Chain A
Amino acid sequence: MTPIPHETTHASRTAGISALLKTAFINALIALVLFSLMVGIRTEAGSDGQLTYWTRFGDLASLVAAVFGGSILIELLRQWIGSTGTEKLVPPAVKSGMSFVGRYLAPALLIFTLLVPVIFYNQRYILDLAILVLTYVMLGWGLNVVVGLAGLLDLGYVAFYAVGAYSYALLATNFGWSFWVCLPLAGILAAFWGVLLGFPVLRLRGDYLAIVTLAFGEIIRLVIINWQELTGGPNGVSSIPRPSFFGIPLDNSDSGLAARLGIEYSPTHRIVFLFYLILALALLTNWVTIRLRRLPIGRAWEALREDEVACRALGINTTTTKLTAFATGAMFGGFAGAFFATRQGFISPESFTFQESALVLAIVVLGGMGSQLGVALAALAMIGGFELFRSLETYRMLVFGMAMVLIMIWRPRGLIGHRAPTVYLTKAQAISSDLVKEGHG
């Protein structure tokens, strides 16, 4: 590399700064027009139904200023990081360190998760949050079968979650069936609905498939809202029975688990039990997925994700491949739904909106589509992030949407985008993303 004369750098730098300011100014101007009416003027319906308005020019000014400053900052960062095409050299020590972390991260996380109820026994809030995170980890792993392995974009995954939840809630409240009888039933019913959805969408690909699954999810939700005799409509189903320890109730009665073991009763027992229950369910999902990936059907899913036409040419039955993917994913969604119902004790259609589907999908995408560890970490990050924004309830979804756009721009293949083939001859080589055309299924 030859040294560059001093004057040239100086000249290009001043030109860079003026261009920088110009871009920032244009961006700020665009922001001013965009926000002028929507933010600068606030309308509200008065008590007499008449619309009133007031101005918020301060907010408008600060937003425009933020855009101005932000675009300068982004431009500077871009120059500092350099063009995206440059290859970064990673020192071998860091590389081996990374692979060390990669190898031991999953077992370490698992051991930590197992110990969570012991460490945080007295912190109910953390236990509840951990249960919530694990529920989403399970949902993410379930959806990962459909989206990550089979490459079928499913925007209506929450429908199966709802089917599972309502199956358990209705069977338990109407017939008094126990959780352990209903759990498999909820999974089977959800899988059945998965196949039902799978049939019509077999011929669809990519975006069409996404929209149809979205419509399916909405249909399920609308039917739940409107079929009041069965589901209670918008009021939902309440007083859903709590789970028992294989028939032994976890309460303060004489026949309860605490009394039988001869220990003092505490409401935390139930929380800890729920924690291990969802952990077991999530690990079951993970284990089944990992095992299925090594079976012909799992290989077929991955082949389908990479290239459907090639799949057909090689004689893979795409019908059964897609249907099994939908059914398997839906079944885990159903399990998670049944758990959700028994944990909450109350369910209503409010819990099964499109936002929920999008959240689970975002977890799978952020996790790198297909990476089990990535999905778990993404669920932790997403739900944890949601908790951080809990006080800013109205801004939560706004930030979530922005995060989704930014992740897609920054790392379309998720945090762990590395994909090693599951079958190889002599050496596992990472597949370049140029070679796969994912998402056409």
Chain B
Amino acid sequence: MDYFAQQLINGLVLGSIYGLIAIGYTMVYGIVGMINFAHGDVFMIGGFVALITFVLLISTGLTAIPVILLVVLLVSMAITALYGWTIERIAYRPLRHSFRLAPMLSAIGMSFVLTNYSQVAQGARVKPIPPFITGGYTLHESQDGFVIQLSNIQIMVVVTTIVLLAIFTWLVSRTRLGRDMRACEQDQTMAALLGVNVDRTISMTFVIGAALAAVAGLMYLLYYGLVDFFMGFVAGIKAFTAAVLGGIGSLPGAMLGGLAIGLIETFWSAYFSVEYKDVAAFSILIVVLIFMPTGLLGRPEVEKV
């Protein structure tokens, strides 16, 4: 039971990270109707930018950890958001009215570009950072000595995710931008006729998605203490699985799917085998798409002829 509770905590933390990435997939799919294959690599870039900012800040002799974290968060969100904007501008916007496979293939190309760009720029080796946020709470200790731990970093990941989700939900449901985004999702032509700047709205969608991915990258860096150039690929597919599981196009669904994938992966590693945890995640993707293609909270897609 204690083991189960510990895995539950770990799974929720991992799931929060996946959920943050999944929001980027689901938002872009909702508006443009394409899978932003490079989104996993945007997450990786976010992790790298955070790492470099950390190294720079520490070398200046700054020791106040909250200040460091805040600066790193803002810098990595800003720069990664610009990456998201640039990717959309270069690789997707010219193809918006092209045939359907074109943006997908362009996105795959972009994913290769980003992966290999960071390999060339930062080297192929894994980059570790020393633990910044240490300590935690012991929730429960059983007779046989098994301890349920809740570390501060785990609390931070979950709290940050909840805060971001709150901001994000407010953004989508209450602001002008959110309304534009929902309008573009329903009908781009009509939205444009009513004075919505469609290009700008789509750009902003990519910017917000990339910023959230940057937060996920920072959380990943803090939680696991390392980044490498290849981490975006697998994390991206899993986050996409989360988005599909939750129902693509649905924002709460993305978070829910993220948590589900995080839990499934953690429990699979804990009770079955660590080697096959990725196989488990990918199999879920296939099973979900066969038996409930609309996901948990999605709407069925109606094809118009």
State the A residues within 8 Å of B (CB). Answer: 30, 33-34, 36-39, 41-45, 49-51, 53, 153, 155, 200-201, 203-204, 206-208, 210-212, 214-216, 218-219, 222-223, 225-226, 309, 354-355, 358, 361-362, 365, 394-395, 397-398, 400-405, 408-409, 412-413, 433, 436-440
Closest to A31 in B: B86
**What are 13 A-B contacts with C-beta separation under 8 Å?**
A42-B121, A43-B127, A50-B130, A155-B108, A208-B293, A216-B286, A218-B237, A365-B105, A398-B120, A401-B110, A401-B113, A408-B91, A412-B102
Q: A212 — which chain B residues lie within 8 A by C-beta?
A: 285-286, 289
Q: B305 — which chain A residues lie within 8 A by C-beta?
A: 309
A361–B37 CA distance with the chains assembled, in angstroms: 15
A439/B101 in contact, CB under 8 A: yes
A398/B79 in contact, CB under 8 A: no
A402–B114 CA distance with the chains assembled, in angstroms: 10
In angstroms, how far is the closest chain A Cβ from the Cβ of B240?
6
A38/B48 in contact, CB under 8 A: yes
Q: A44 — which chain B residues lie within 8 A by C-beta?
A: 123, 125, 127
Q: A34 — which chain B residues lie within 8 A by C-beta?
A: 79, 82-83, 86
CB of B136 within 8 Å of the partner chain? no
CB of B300 within 8 Å of the partner chain? no
B128/A51 in contact, CB under 8 A: yes
0 or 1 for each of B101-116: is its CB under 8 Å from A? (1 = yes): 1111110111111111
B105/A37 in contact, CB under 8 A: no
Closest to B83 in A: A34
B125/A408 in contact, CB under 8 A: no
B112/A397 in contact, CB under 8 A: yes
A403/B99 in contact, CB under 8 A: no
Q: B237 — which chain A residues lie within 8 A by C-beta?
A: 211, 214-215, 218
B109/A404 in contact, CB under 8 A: yes
A2–B52 CA distance with the chains assembled, in angstroms: 59
In angstroms, how far is the closest chain B Cβ from the Cβ of A326?
14
B55/A219 in contact, CB under 8 A: no
Q: B290 — which chain A residues lie within 8 A by C-beta?
A: 200, 203
Q: A309 — which chain B residues lie within 8 A by C-beta?
A: 303, 305
B52/A43 in contact, CB under 8 A: yes
16 A-B pairs besides A37-B49, A42-B123, A408-B102 with CB distance below 8 A are A34-B86, A36-B79, A38-B117, A42-B121, A43-B55, A43-B127, A44-B125, A153-B104, A206-B100, A211-B285, A355-B112, A401-B116, A404-B112, A405-B106, A408-B98, A439-B99
Q: B126 — which chain A residues lie within 8 A by C-beta?
A: 45
B55/A53 in contact, CB under 8 A: yes
